[in-house]
A and B are shown apart, each in its own frame.
Chain A
Amino acid sequence: MVASKQTEFTLTKDTAWCPGCGNFGIIRALSQALEGLGLKANEVLYVSGIGQAGKLPHYIKGNVLNTLHGRTLPTATGAKLANGDLHVFAIGGDGDGYAEGGNHFLHAVRKNVNITYLVHDNQVFGLTKGQASPRSDQGMVTGTTPQGVALEAFNPLATAITLNAGFVARSYAGDREHLSRTIQAAIQHEGFALIDILQPCVTFNKINTYQFYSSRVYDLDQEEGYDRTDRQVAWARSFEWGERIPIGIFYQTLRPTLADHYGELLKKPLVKQEHDKNYVAGLIDSYKIG
């Protein structure tokens, strides 16, 4: 990777990714989005899982908590509740988020915690060398599915829309402008924002390649008359997958975020609040007899 001029979100030259990896497109788009919004590196926290995607925060400037496989969402949720001033990203792959972390995904959507979730969706387990993921197409032959994948692929967008996620988008690692724009919209959205990013894995996924996607993706954001506030329409569109694959913001709605449920308590970052000894003294007294 070639780092251009020194900027707030300068990228590291050395990475552990394969040449041509879709992750390069994603990290450049992320850097561009953050620069574009004029954010400072110390205001940003990337919570990442394990997998090729989980390494991303080590190659861009910002606060980092590189946690366990599948556990990015609860960790990011805790960090955001503790310090609402941080711009928190959860970053992981489709195996990390939809397999190991599937339960957390459902509940992070329900909680509507105000974070941006980037899923590097390459439809395989890259770091462990190409086994099937919940996103692999039926029939795909991998090390763990020599007869071809039998199961229907997981649909993260439909799942998120079903749970009334506030911001549901898909973008493509091969379209830096689109991805950067979508990331900025996600950051500006108040609430949980999912961006499922189509990410070619040049080493292990010979089906869903740059060529495969470039000839198929089209931008919903540019489609005249598409109403991203219509949940039924968005849900139906999330099943389109074949000769044409939609990218863009499928669905957006505003509902109270997790912090809103705490009312006054989280109007100021929790970590900056003083410890109230008097309240505890009163509680102790409430048990006093005699």
Chain B
Amino acid sequence: MQTFNIKIGGEAGQGLVSVGNILLQAITQEGWHLFAHQDYESRIRGGHNFFQIRLADEPVATWEHEIDVLVALDEATVTLGQGELRPGGIVIYDPDVLGDEAKKLVDQPNCFGLPFAKIAQDLGQPKIVANAVAAGAVWALLSEDITVLHQTLEAMFGSKGEKVAAGNQKVASAGFDRVRELAGSRPKPAKPENPGARLLLQGNQALPLGALAAGLKFMSAYPMTPATGVTEYISEHGQEASVVMEQAEDEISAINMAIGASFAGARSMTATSGGGFALMTEALSLAGSAEIPIVVINAMRPGPSTGLPTRTEQGDLRYAAAMSFGDFPRAVLSPGDVEEAFYLMGQAFNLAEEYQMPVVVLSDQHLADSHVTVPPFDLSKVEIRRGKTVSGTEAGPDYLRYKYTEDGISPRLYPGWGEGVVISAGDEHDEEGHLIEDAETRQKMMEKRMAKQKLVEARALEPVLCGADEPDAMLIGFGSTKGAIREAVRILNEGGCKVQGVHLPQVFPLPESLGELLQRPGRKFIVESNYTGQLEELIAARFALKPTGSIRRYDGRPINAQYILDKLRGGVCGGQ
């Protein structure tokens, strides 16, 4: 696999996301696969942020530390980014924003100064169009031909008028020509032979898109980074997709509204991050007791407390698995990438409705904000299963909401759909739904509900494997480490090792087959983005197994393949 990495750095509000988005579109259009992640501070203006794009001739699912092109919209990018530059890498900077010290740093033959704003203004364009100068400058290092970039700018700005699109194209050409002149003829990154149609999107688009595909009808939420993208997505498309998205006064209200809507018969969800999830946990216990289906997306960020609001971590796993007070059935899913995020949302709703319980989908900032090219989603693979329900006629006048059944699942009737009434309670109740105090009913109801947990466990999603079939070592992870583990496995195996990657799309309850997999000989390493080893703890609790080693990260930055390899330091096989 050949890769090429572009890092655009600048202050918030300088337009680095605009430069990034132009390049994402054009790079995909030109035929490459890509993975792009973002690193930003909890502020609207200033600070230091970056947008990093990795393009490749094969599908990619993680980022690399080393940079081929560094685009500096501010001084900090020059001072901080130089060390990440690969030998032969290029720096494109704006000399008008650099101080004297930084100017010394770029006094090198591989550093090209382009006064972005000045170039735009000299061509009679507003300062804001400077982003297209930077995009054009980068494009000169990717392609001999600017046509695709021009097409992209037309597609992106055409709606703002012909003049705006033409202005962007004009300044992009200026940046392109300037860098061609300075850089001379260079080999261009390798392209895939037949890339075919691909989707370009990020986790915070794939998750809500998956929910819409799964027949979401109701969402309520309170804004919280990094989950807000999901909420805004459903808000934007709700009317046309026949979905109500109601902004709540707090997370407590958000989850309770969604539970109310679900009780009434609407497929419902909410989305939040750690602190908001904490506020929701009381209601999750209600959903458990009253057997009301509900899906919660928890987009994790580093805690404790407000932590690092815009960075990434997998520190809520233990909390999601434990979820709330009292015993009740639940499931926790953990999509590893954008494609899995889309399909797992359907699974989450089916699980929630078939077993009438809460299901948490663990996302994180890295998955939420990263863009990737993926094969087009196949809607025919999204099956909508609403679980056991009865029509009004079947239910009759004496419907029992919590009727004892062999599998513990009582058929649902939606209130108002039949002659019978639907009685639900979070207090302990009898088959009808009315409150009880006696020990016998309590025990029976508890056993009825918990019988569902056994079914959920028996049906838990299987681990997703990659690499060697009979490995000497395993790298085990969940959620957004999937791509990093996959790449680390590939690199190790290319170096002569026999390593297998084990990604867990469901972390609670864990699938029985994971236990069998872990019984096999060979070293096991658990990879996760948290301090205490929360996945390790869940595995130990379930299978009484301790891994050979733990690879953890908790500095708020995403794990990538190099990080895993550095931590292994040859501990996997031979000199690797």
Contact = CB atoms under 8 A, between A and B. Distances in A.
Contact of B379 (A42, A270, A284, A287): A284
A273 B416 CA distance: 15
B250 A289 contact: no
A66 B426 contact: yes
Contacts of A273: 217, 242
Interface string A43-69: 101010010000101100111111110
B257 interface: yes
B261 A280 contact: no
B424 A65 contact: yes
A22 B251 CA distance: 34
Contact of B261 (A79, A107, A265): A79
Nearest to B374: A287
A238 B418 CA distance: 42
A82 B253 contact: no
A192 B182 CA distance: 68
A222 to B, nearest CB: 36
Interface stretch (A26-34, A70-78, A147-155, A177-185): A70-78
Contacts of A57: 423
Interface string B182-225: 00000000000001111111000100010011010110100000
A45 B415 contact: yes
B283 to A, nearest CB: 7
Contact of A71 (B29, B256, B423): B256
Nearest to B220: A78
B421 A103 contact: no
Contacts of B264: 45, 78-79, 82-83, 86, 271
A68 B415 CA distance: 19
Contacts of B246: 77-78, 81, 258
Nearest to B218: A82
Interface stretch (B81-89, B427-435, B445-453, B480-488): B427-435
Contact of A283 (B197, B209, B283): B209
A78 B268 contact: yes
B249 A68 contact: no
B241 interface: yes
A279 interface: yes
Nearest to A61: B421
B208 to A, nearest CB: 10
B99 to A, nearest CB: 40
A221 B348 CA distance: 52
Interface string B24-60: 0100110100000000000000000000000000000
A276 B266 contact: no
A77 B257 contact: yes
Interface string B224-264: 00000000000001111110101011101110111111111
B425 interface: yes
A65 B213 contact: no
A41 interface: yes
B336 interface: no
Interface string B263-279: 11110100000000000
Contacts of A67: 256, 259-260, 286, 290, 426
A85 interface: yes
A233 to B, nearest CB: 29
Contacts of A80: 260
Given A42-B419, A104-B249, A284-B377, A74 B241 contact: no
Contact of B376 (A41, A106, A284): A284
B435 A284 contact: no
Nearest to A271: B265
A266 B249 contact: no
A262 B244 contact: yes
Q: How large is the interface on B (under 10, 10 to 19, 20 to 34, 35 or more residues)?
A: 35 or more
Contacts of B376: 284, 288
A55 B435 CA distance: 8
B244 A86 contact: no
A123 B476 CA distance: 57
B209 A284 contact: yes
A47 B373 CA distance: 46
A5 interface: no
A13 interface: no
A76 B198 CA distance: 43
Contacts of A275: 215, 217, 242, 384
Given A275-B384, A279-B240, A280-B212, A62 B435 contact: no
B218 A66 contact: no
Q: How large is the interface on A (under 10, 10 to 19, 20 to 34, 35 or more residues)?
A: 35 or more
B380 to A, nearest CB: 10
B253 A289 contact: no
B25 A289 contact: yes
Nearest to A57: B423
A226 B422 CA distance: 42
A290 interface: yes
B239 A78 contact: no
A42 B415 CA distance: 7
A284 B339 CA distance: 12
B414 interface: yes
A270 B290 contact: no
B379 A277 contact: yes
A81 B259 CA distance: 12
A2 interface: no
A106 B195 CA distance: 54
Contacts of A77: 246, 257, 260
Contact of A75 (B28, B215, B260): B260
A41 to B, nearest CB: 6
Contacts of A266: 244
Contacts of A75: 256-257, 259-260, 263
B256 A271 contact: no
B204 to A, nearest CB: 13
A3 interface: no
Nearest to A49: B426
A281 interface: yes
Contacts of B283: 68, 71
B132 to A, nearest CB: 19
B420 A42 contact: yes
B198 A290 contact: yes
Pick from B199, B421, B434 the residue with the most CB of A within 10 Å. Answer: B421
Nearest to B286: A68
B177 interface: no
Given A68-B283, A290-B29, A265 B239 contact: yes
A86 B257 contact: no
A10 B303 CA distance: 52
Interface of A: 16, 41-43, 45, 47, 50, 55, 57-58, 61-68, 71, 73-83, 85-86, 103-104, 106-107, 258, 262-263, 265-266, 270-271, 273-277, 279-281, 283-284, 287-290
21 contacts: A43-B416, A50-B427, A65-B263, A66-B290, A74-B253, A78-B262, A83-B415, A103-B249, A107-B253, A270-B217, A273-B242, A275-B215, A279-B237, A279-B241, A280-B213, A280-B379, A283-B212, A284-B199, A284-B213, A290-B31, A290-B196
Given A65-B424, A79-B415, A82-B244, 8 more contacts: A61-B421, A81-B246, A83-B266, A266-B244, A271-B217, A283-B237, A284-B209, A290-B195
Closest A-B pairs by Cβ, 3 of them? A78-B260, A78-B257, A63-B415
